[in-house]
Each structure stands twice: as C-alpha cells, then as structure tokens.
Amino acid sequence: MKTIYALKLFSTGDFSEEEKEIDKTIPSEYKDEIEQIEKATMNVKKQIRDTIIETKNDSNMISSSLKELSDINLDNYQWQISIKFNNSSSV
C-alpha cells in the first residue's frame, strides 16, 4: 500500500520522501481506488514524458548555441589568420 500511496502523492506533485499518514478515503472525482490509481499512473507518465521532452529541447538548444559559438570563434580565428597573413606578406 505504501507504493500505491507514494504513486498517488507523486502524481499530485508531492515529491517528498517523508512518511505521511495515509488518507484511505477516495476523492469524490474517482469512482474507486482503481480509477484513482489509473489516473495517477497516467499523470506520472505524462510528467515523465514532459520532463524528457523538455530536457531534449533544452539539450538541442544548448547544442545549437554551442555550434553557433564555435562557428563564431572559428570565423574570428580565420579572420585573425587572414589579417596576420596579409600583414606579413606586405612586408
């Protein structure tokens, strides 16, 4: 029962690890505990999926930013080489 209770708490956004008194009543929006557990499971699955997608999007954004920064640095480096080469060839 502790696992089911932890699932119910997790699905509502309570991520605490501390032991709490278990409320055995079924909220009125559910017809029975099975429905409550099914909805809690779907909610947790959605939270995990959303977190994975958000993390993937953040990763893509970071990767893109690093590529842009790398391209800028490479362009700057090539520009500096070009200036040095032009200055040395004019001597």
Answer yes or no: are the C-beta atoms of 26 and 33 closer than 8 Å.
yes
Three-point CA angle 79, 60, 15, nearest 5°: 140
Rounded to whole angstroms, the Cα distance separating 2 from 22 reads 8
The series of mean pLDDT values per 10 residues for the chain, 91 residues long, is 78 76 78 89 92 94 88 78 71 53
* 43 burial type by CB count under 10 A (0-12 exposed, 13-18 middle, 19+ buried): middle
C-beta atoms surrounding 48 within 10 Å:
10
What is the pLDDT, as a whole number, of residue 89?
A: 62
What is the pLDDT, as a whole number, of residue 46?
A: 93
Domain residue ranges of the chain, discontinuous segments joined by +: 2-89
